[in-house]
Chains A and B, each alone.
Chain A
Amino acid sequence: MNQVVQVEKLRKTYGATVAVDEVSFEVREGEIFGMVGPNGAGKTTTIECVEGLRRPERGTVRVLGLDPTRQERALRPLLGVQLQQANLPEHLKVWEALDLYASFYPHPVDWKGLIEQLGLAEKRDAAFHKLSGGQKQRLFIALALVNDPQLVFLDELTTGLDPQARHAIWDLMRDVRQRGKTIVLTTHFMEEAERLCDRVAILDHGRIVALDTPANLIQGLGIESRIVFSVEGGRTPEGLADLPSVTRVENLGDRIVVYGRTNGQNGHAPLVAEVVNALTSRGVRFDDLRTEQPSLEDVFLTLTGQAMRD
């Protein structure tokens, strides 16, 4: 598979702050590659070094085979970029911004379609400073796509968007991938990385602590699934801990938490089926049962010992 981005031992400091160190990864053609991590992890620094907007202190970066600092001119037309921090002139209208940015590129797409896709049709004639945070965000995503780029960089792609708009953007990104483009994004929403990205690099304190597909990351660490429910009287039903998939049982007062590792593999019934069967066959009345699959959030917690907070 073609590698469209190669980063090797990237390092960047600001004064005494080491923002990024020893960061190496590659991005394959046609994938959605995500960088996740808490604020200050070094995501923006990394993505902007790759975009050629910041100069790495050490290490090599290749984008579509080019050096983004030395061959910026050749590279720019091929890239779409959404920055975490940017603005447009206050009085510039939405359509004018798209029309203007389209004129900077040799083969722009029809921006009228983008306006529709990003739900900005009603705001076509609105001035930039009249837009809400989410609308500005969507406009910047539109600007990143207006040149029909081969490779799209999106820094904090859905920050400031409501859940509905976020899902619409995810669909749009899958669409872009469908058309053979490559996407590199950063996010501090683990859920976004898990649901949207083909591969994810987890950053913490300027370093990559893990890099794989979301499924591999979750399975690789052997993180348990959880079944949570409540029972009358709050007493732990007997025999649950002996079920084949169950690793341990916790009683949190009114709630019982059953931990287990399998999801129907290795010949066992899925954890939830085993637990429910056991409860019903013993005549235990339970309530509020839900299953919690391990997520990237748990992976981050396991790897760094800290919870991901916004």
Chain B
Amino acid sequence: MRAFLKLTRVEIKLFFREPYGAFFTLAFPLMLLFLFGAIYGNEPSPYFGGYGTVDVSVPAYTAMIIGTSGLLTLTITMAVYREFGILRRLRATPLRPQTILSAQVVVIFLMTLLGMALLVLAGKLVYHLRFDGNPLSVAAAFVLGSLSFFALGFVLAGLMPTARTAQVVGMVIFYPMIFLSGSAIPLEVMPEGVRSFARFLPLTHVVTLLRGLWIGEAWSQHTTEVIVLLALLVVGVLVSIKTFRWE
């Protein structure tokens, strides 16, 4: 337990020393919020069923952070740790692999949560963010979405031969996905073609679930999302166990 806590603390420090990861998880979503907030404000709009741009953006950007954490940060970290022999050195200690991996998951989860907290805080303070859901439901959806995407990240890291390919593949999946899933730009403003394609992107389901629960919709309206994300989580964990390599 002491080792786990120490490792977690160290990994948090390392996260903040890596400007790239910290920027996309913490700063970039805030910048988007302020950018679109400045353009559109947060007036209730018929486009968003009576909610404002900021009201729908906070849960959507939260989904974007989840995508960043799983597909970029976690994938790249794990692939680098493996390729450069960082895992190899850890393997020669009494640490169990579960401890190493769960420290990674806990740290990236905390950073994702911090990213969301900053969005909520900024939304509340600057734009009178509306929240009509049940905090516990949103928290549960946040955990589900995060874990599903972290599992996806481990799968990518496990399947890619080098850190460089993991990074490129992570980006190639991530960047189109944030624009086509409604996480960076609401699907409401997208053409019909994009909207029907979006259903095949896992991140869309995180966006839909979080946005729905945010405005007080019931879980029963979101069974598809829950099933997709649960399936992603289970398959992801199984595949990443199969494909895990120390070196």
Contact = CB atoms under 8 A, between A and B. Distances in A.
Interface of A: 51, 53, 73, 76-77, 79, 81, 83, 85-89, 91-92, 96, 99-101, 103-105, 127, 140, 143
B3 A103 contact: yes
Contact of B2 (A91, A103, A127): A103
A88 B86 contact: yes
Contacts of A73: 94
Interface string B1-26: 01100110010011001100000000
B91 A77 contact: no
Contact of A104 (B3, B18, B88): B3
B146 to A, nearest CB: 22
A99 B5 CA distance: 12
Tell which of A88, A89, A99, A101 has the most Cβ of chain B within 10 Å.
A89
A53 B92 CA distance: 7
Given A81-B92, A103-B2, A104-B3, A91 B17 contact: yes
16 contacts: A53-B92, A76-B92, A83-B89, A87-B84, A87-B85, A87-B86, A89-B14, A89-B81, A91-B13, A91-B14, A92-B14, A96-B10, A96-B13, A100-B6, A103-B3, A104-B95
Contacts of A85: 85, 88
B93 interface: yes
A236 B91 CA distance: 62
Given A73-B94, A76-B94, A91-B17, A100 B10 contact: yes
Nearest to A128: B86
Given A85-B88, A91-B14, 12 more contacts: A53-B92, A73-B94, A79-B92, A83-B85, A85-B85, A86-B86, A91-B18, A100-B6, A100-B10, A103-B2, A104-B95, A105-B94
Q: Which of B3, B6, B81, B92 has the most CB of A within 10 A?
A: B92
Can you list the 5 inter-chain pairs with the closest CB atoms, starting with the nearest?
A91-B17, A76-B94, A86-B89, A103-B6, A81-B92
Contacts of A86: 85-86, 88-89
A53 B10 contact: no
A83 B246 CA distance: 14
Contact of A88 (B2, B89, B92, B93): B89
A53 B94 contact: no
Contacts of A101: 93
Given A87-B86, A92-B10, A104 B93 contact: yes
A185 to B, nearest CB: 15
Contacts of B18: 91
B92 A89 contact: no
Q: Which of A73, A88, A127 gathers the greatest number of chain B CB atoms within 10 Å?
A: A88
A44 B176 CA distance: 45
A68 to B, nearest CB: 11
Contacts of B89: 83, 86-88, 140, 143
A96 B9 CA distance: 10
A100 B94 CA distance: 12
Interface in B10-54: 10, 13-14, 17-18
Nearest to B18: A91
B162 to A, nearest CB: 14
A140 B92 CA distance: 12
Interface string B67-99: 000000000000001001110110111110000
A51 B92 contact: yes
Nearest to B99: A104
Contacts of A103: 2-3, 6-7
Contact of B88 (A76, A77, A83, A143): A83
Contacts of A77: 94
Nearest to B93: A104
A220 B153 CA distance: 59
A184 B94 CA distance: 19
A53 to B, nearest CB: 6
B93 A76 contact: yes
A89 B7 CA distance: 12
A79 B91 CA distance: 12
Nearest to A51: B92
B22 to A, nearest CB: 12
A100 B90 CA distance: 11
Nearest to B2: A103
B2 to A, nearest CB: 5
Contacts of B14: 89, 91-92
Contacts of A127: 17
B218 to A, nearest CB: 44
